């Protein structure tokens, strides 16, 4: 569920962007040196009194040594956990979307990870869900590897916990090519069920830590599994060692012959830098095949860079989108005229016509399809930047037909800020489309069942189908798309209740697991 926003790729850290002297609301002067700011930044806690957060920047309890990937020395200086907490306190007060709902907590009272968890609202929406479900942090080196190259420690298999409590069911949703999961000795495919991990029964065991450690390993860890392949009665044993997995965010490009023309299909799983080149290549091939309709499978796409979402939406809509608003950002009440991070005047982001420089040269003309409608396959993991595609296209009256499940509901996003080797993500803005609409905190829902909570969109609520590979025309959601094109009707089901509560997000995990970080970064929308 992620949204990242960028106008171009930066490996330098956002915390060092201009935050002063350009409408950002900071009281420090741009001419102040970091040393001056640090000397004046150490003050005793006073309820309701906030120093500029730059005065505490990179004052670290354990300073980093060396340099980043670009060879720039780390700016860390010796400080304390109190300095790090003071940075979080002032930074949140200045930039957090709901800053006035944060309780003012003494920076001396908690460790830095604990303190960060207090720097958010604990209010709930009308539906009873937490107002802020997307507050997280991640080590900066992991964030750079994830966002810039899609590199993540793992096996190259995306697991879905269909039932998180006993009797559990865990299956493989998809795999990455050239990964441990797809090696000859392992050969995992979609639908394979995980029965046992390191000797622990997945279905009924209470040993949650062993199960999580096996499913979401750290780099270099080796774990054993007993699995049952899809449609097989017997099980088999495999062993996998976690490596650095480079995501292939665009997969399964295919063309489906129908009586009413050629239908293009592809899965899009991550809005990360390599996706730009892959999406452009896919759209060029779809254009050259003169397709009648397009199906974009976003069921597992939690989001990422918003500019990549903008690029894809722009390529789908073509000339009809030129000059119109893809998304407009709204920050907290302190920042109504200027972006508090970049200092730019707040202006709507129009649909793009050229590439943004993620993985192809910046300024290259984008290929276009000029479609009047789009079929989106969705799930509860369809979030943030992925939802921006839906909302942005609806804002210019391009017909969006949703097949699958209600999306996650995240019109919010943030910038990535590094401090002392940790990159923090705290909601700083919400997004609105060309019509000024951005209120979809309960997601978008296919409109064939009235019980769904999200904003209703034409389409069909259809459960995920792990019996078929993604892109197979007999896979339930893709088949529903093809049938809907012919009959304009949804599949008939007898278990309507189960559809409304169909779980598609990993659940029932301890709060401190590698998967929490993995899920958090994928379920958000970030400006970098």
pLDDT at position 522: 52
Q: Which residue has the tokens 């590979």?
A: 469
Put residue 229 in one of left, alpha, beta given phi > 0 → left and psi -120 to 50 → alpha. Answer: beta
Residue 155 has pLDDT above 80, yes or no: yes
Structure tokens at 206: 């209470």
| Poorest-pLDDT segment among 148-162, 169-183, 247-261, 484-498 | 484-498
The CA R_g of the chain, rounded to the nearest whole Å, is 23
- Residue range 151-246 in CATH 3.40.50.300: no
Residue 507 has pLDDT above 50, yes or no: no
Nearest 5°: phi and psi at 236? -145, 160
pLDDT at position 1: 40
**Could you tell me the pLDDT band of residue 147, with boundaries at 50, 70 and 90?**
low
Beta bridge partners of 426: none
Q: What is the mean pLDDT of residues 254-279?
A: 96
Nearest CA among 401, 258, 379, 208 for reference residue 316: 401
**Could you tell me the pLDDT band of residue 483, with boundaries at 50, 70 and 90?**
very high
Strand ranges, E, within 428-468: 429-432, 444-446, 455-457, 459-461
Beta bridge partners of 174: 158
Residue 496 has pLDDT above 50, yes or no: no
Q: pTM of the predicted model, to two decimals?
A: 0.81
How far is Cα 202 from Cα 164, in angstroms, rounded to an integer? Answer: 10
Cβ neighbours of 203 (radius 10 Å): 14
**Could you tell me the pLDDT band of residue 43, with boundaries at 50, 70 and 90?**
low
How far is Cα 332 from Cα 306, in angstroms, rounded to an integer? Answer: 19
pLDDT in tens, 7-33: 333 333 333 222 222 223 333 333 333
pLDDT in tens, 428-468: 999 999 999 999 988 999 999 777 788 999 999 999 999 99
pLDDT in tens, 170-206: 999 999 999 999 999 999 999 999 999 999 999 999 9
How far is Cα 526 from Cα 180, in angstroms, rounded to an integer? Answer: 29
Q: Which residue has the tokens 């093809």?
A: 482
Residue 3 has pLDDT above 60, yes or no: no
How far is Cα 135 from Cα 121, in angstroms, rounded to an integer? Answer: 10
pLDDT in tens, 90-104: 999 999 999 999 999
pLDDT at position 404: 97
pLDDT at position 493: 63
pLDDT at position 509: 36
pLDDT in tens, 386-409: 999 999 999 999 999 999 999 999
How far is Cα 202 from Cα 226, in angstroms, rounded to an integer? Answer: 10
Q: What is the mean pLDDT of residues 94-119?
A: 97
Q: Where are the domains of the chain?
A: 1-37+45-121+132-150+247-528, 151-246
**Could you tell me the pLDDT band of residue 70, with boundaries at 50, 70 and 90?**
confident
- Output the CA torsion sign for 275, 281, 285, 287: positive
How far is Cα 199 from Cα 215, in angstroms, rounded to an integer? Answer: 13
Nearest CA among 275, 272, 194 for reference residue 238: 194
Q: Could you write out the DSSP letters of every residue in 172-204?
A: EEEE-TTSGGGSTTT---TTPEEEEETTEETTT
Superfamily of domain 1-37+45-121+132-150+247-528 in the CATH hierarchy = 2-enoyl-CoA Hydratase; Chain A, domain 1 (3.90.226.10)
pLDDT at position 40: 42
pLDDT at position 20: 24
**Could you tell me the pLDDT band of residue 39, with boundaries at 50, 70 and 90?**
very low
Nearest 5°: phi and psi at 117? -65, -20
Nearest CA among 370, 381, 400, 392 for reference residue 310: 392
Residue pair 473/486 in contact (Cβ under 8 Å)? The answer is no
pLDDT at position 164: 86
How far is Cα 477 from Cα 460, in angstroms, rounded to an integer? Answer: 9
Residue 142 has pLDDT above 90, yes or no: no
């Amino acid at each position: 569920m992620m949204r990242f926003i960028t106008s171009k790729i930066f490996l330098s850290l956002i915390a060092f962007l201009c935050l002063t002297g350009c409408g950002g609301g900071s009281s420090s002067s741009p001419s102040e040196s970091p040393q001056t700011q640090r000397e004046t930044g150490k003050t005793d806690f006073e309820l309701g009194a906030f120093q500029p957060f730059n005065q505490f920047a990179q004052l670290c309890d354990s300073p980093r040594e060396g340099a980043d990937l670009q060879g720039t020395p780390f700016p860390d200086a010796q400080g304390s956990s109190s300095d790090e907490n003071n940075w979080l306190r002032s930074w949140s007060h200045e930039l957090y979307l709901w800053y006035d709902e944060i309780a003012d907590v003494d920076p001396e009272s908690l460790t830095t990870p604990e303190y960060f968890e207090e720097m958010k609202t604990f209010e709930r929406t009308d539906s009873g869900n937490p107002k802020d479900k997307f507050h997280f942090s991640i080590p900066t080196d992991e964030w750079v590897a994830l966002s810039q190259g899609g590199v993540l420690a793992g096996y190259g298999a995306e697991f879905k916990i269909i039932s998180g409590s006993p009797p559990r069911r865990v299956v493989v949703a998809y795999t990455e090519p050239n990964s441990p999961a797809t090696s000859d000795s392992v050969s995992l495919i979609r639908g394979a069920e995980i029965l046992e991990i390191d000797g622990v029964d997945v279905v009924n065991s209470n040993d949650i830590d062993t199960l999580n450690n096996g499913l979401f390993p750290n780099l270099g860890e080796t774990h054993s599994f007993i699995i049952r392949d899809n449609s097989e009665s017997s099980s088999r044993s495999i062993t996998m060692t976690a490596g650095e997995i480079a995501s292939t965010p665009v997969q399964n490009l295919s063309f489906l012959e129908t009586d009413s023309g050629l239908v293009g299909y592809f899965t899009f799983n991550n809005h990360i830098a390599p996706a730009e080149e892959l999406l452009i290549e896919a759209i060029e091939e779809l254009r050259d095949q003169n397709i009648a309709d397009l199906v974009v499978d976003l069921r597992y796409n939690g989001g990422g860079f918003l500019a990549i979402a903008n690029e894809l939406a722009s390529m789908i809509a073509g000339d009809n989108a030129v000059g119109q608003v893809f998304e407009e950002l709204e920050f907290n009440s302190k920042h109504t005229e200027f972006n508090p991070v970049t200092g730019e005047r707040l202006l709507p982001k129009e649909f793009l016509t050229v590439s943004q420089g993620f993985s192809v040269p910046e300024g290259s003309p984008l290929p276009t399809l000029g479609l009047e409608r789009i079929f989106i396959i969705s799930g509860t993991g369809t979030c943030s930047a992925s939802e921006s595609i839906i909302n942005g296209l609806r804002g210019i009256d391009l017909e969006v037909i949703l097949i699958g499940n209600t999306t996650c509901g995240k019109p919010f996003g943030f910038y990535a800020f590094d401090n002392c080797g940790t990159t923090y993500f705290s909601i700083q803005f919400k997004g609105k489309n060309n019509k000024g609409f951005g209120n979809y905190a309960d997601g978008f829902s296919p409109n064939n069942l009235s019980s769904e909570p999200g904003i209703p969109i034409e389409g069909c609520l259809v459960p995920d189908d792990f019996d078929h590979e993604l892109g197979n025309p007999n896979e339930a959601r893709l088949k529903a798309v093809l049938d809907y094109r012919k009959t304009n009707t949804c599949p008939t089901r007898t278990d309507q209740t189960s559809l409304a509560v169909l779980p598609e997000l990993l659940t029932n995990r301890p709060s401190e697991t590698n998967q929490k970080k993995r899920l958090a970064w994928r379920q958000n929308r970030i400006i970098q």
